[in-house]
Amino acid sequence: MKVLTLVMLLCYSFAFSSGDTTIHTNNWAVLVCTSRFWFNYRHMANTLSLYRTVKRLGIPDERIILMLADDMACNARNEYPAQVFNNENHKLNLYGDNVEVDYRGYEVTVENFLRVLTGRHENAVPRSKRLLSDEGSHILLYMTGHGGDEFLKFQDAEELQSHDLADAVKQMKEKRRFKELMIMVDTCQAATLFNQLQSPDVLAIGSSLKGENSYSHHLDSDVGVSVVDRFTYYTLAFFERLNIYDNASLNSLFRSYDPKLLMSTAYYRTDLYQPHLAEVPVTNFFGSVMETLHTDSVYKAFSSKTSNNKINSEMPLNQLSEHDELQKANIQNDELKTEKQKCPYTQMRVDLHKKLEKLENVDTVVNLGIAVMLLVVMVSSSLL
């Protein structure tokens, strides 16, 4: 019996401890335009459109890292100085009066991009250039530029490979720099960039499949170049209808992409992401909407979001009745946990824990365990 307990204990210690107990506390966005030169105007317009959208939906400037590889707004070729448009009707100046560019020009390199993601900066680097996310952060990573099979070009000089991206994400996960990460890429063969991703809680969406190109939407003859890409254009078309209180789900965003209009097939990689997409509002990534819970007592900590306060695509987030919330507030945290975790594995874990506590002579158990381990090692080595 003791040996069995021990083996189970060993198994448990090797297993990945799923400590998904943190709640979503903040939102970050990293928006990257990797293309230099005037004819890539549309890539900057793409990025600035997304910048405007996430700002409108509530992410403040200090939580947005904006990387623009070239200066289009005050470019000598720009007919409209200090203005960038993503539509030929010129109704909306994306550059506005209050834009904060964190990395620009020659600073937009693969090295700096990976440094931002992994947080490995020099000491002198100011806070505004750092991604100071934590384990409760939802991060939106948007990238646009020219790419190919499993790579994305930076300024026509360097490449970010899918392996680099996957490694950076893995490192971020290990450093607990995010709770959930959404990667959105608008480039040719965008789907291939996600091939190496392995880390959990990552959702990826690309504008085109392998072998497909991502096309620009339309040409502005006043500016003289194409001003927006198709994928971003239709993403924006979806978001322009939303405000901060809308509860459109990610599923409805994904369903809004029409391959005929995009002239490419949008690709979603959802196998690393557990929640059901129909229940995740887009503002989880593209905005910053915090839940407000009314509690009777102050400083009552909630260890985790319960599954019943998730919304579906039709029901708005803020329609939760106050009654529900009061009830939740009254329930003890521990009870919440046990109620939620009913899977056999956790049950086994609890049993094990109880048995361990009952044991009197722990030392002998440890010794026995070491002996069993040695035996196992010997047998396995002789077999091989």
Binding site for another protein (CB under 8 A): 36-37, 71, 73-75, 80-83, 95-107, 122, 124-129, 155-158
* DSSP single-letter state for residue 249: B
Nearer to another protein, 98 or 308 (CB): 98
Strand order in the sheet with 180-186: 103-104, 64-68, 26-33, 137-144, 180-186, 202-206, 267-269
Nearer to another protein, 56 or 305 (CB): 56
Phi and psi, residue 65, nearest 5°? -100, 115
List C-alpha distances in Å: 29 to 97, 112, 159, 182, 288.
20, 16, 22, 9, 10
Nearer to another protein, 49 or 207 (CB): 49
- Least distance to another protein from the beta carbon of 50, Å? 16
> Does the active-site annotation cover 121?
no
Nearer to another protein, 30 or 202 (CB): 30
Closest to 262 measured CA to CA, from 190, 193, 203, 196: 190
Looking up tokens 């996957």 gives 166
Cβ–Cβ under 8 Å, residues 214 and 229 = yes
> Does the active-site annotation cover 188?
yes
Which residue(s) pair with 267 in the sheet?
206
Retrieve residue 89's tokens.
């009707």
- Least distance to another protein from the beta carbon of 106, Å? 6
- Least distance to another protein from the beta carbon of 51, Å? 11
Amino acid identity of residue 324, one-letter, is D
User: Strand runs (DSSP E) across the chain, as ranges?
Assistant: 26-33, 64-68, 103-104, 137-144, 147-148, 151-154, 158-161, 180-186, 202-206, 216-220, 225-229, 267-269
Name the catalytic one among 11, 146, 217, 353.
146
- Least distance to another protein from the beta carbon of 153, Å? 10
- Least distance to another protein from the beta carbon of 181, Å? 24
Nearer to another protein, 123 or 332 (CB): 123
DSSP secondary structure of 279-301: GSBTHHHHS--------SSSSPP
Nearer to another protein, 71 or 279 (CB): 71
- Least distance to another protein from the beta carbon of 199, Å? 29
- Least distance to another protein from the beta carbon of 127, Å? 7
Nearer to another protein, 132 or 293 (CB): 132
List all residues 6 or more positions away from 115 whose beta carbon is below 8 Å from its beta carbon: 121
For helices 344-358 and 2-14, the axis angle rounded to 10 degrees is: 130
Angle at 340 between CA 12 and CA 247, to 5 degrees: 125
Name the catalytic one among 90, 188, 294, 343.
188
Cβ–Cβ under 8 Å, residues 123 and 11 = no
Cβ–Cβ under 8 Å, residues 38 and 75 = yes
The residues annotated as belonging to the active site are 146, 188
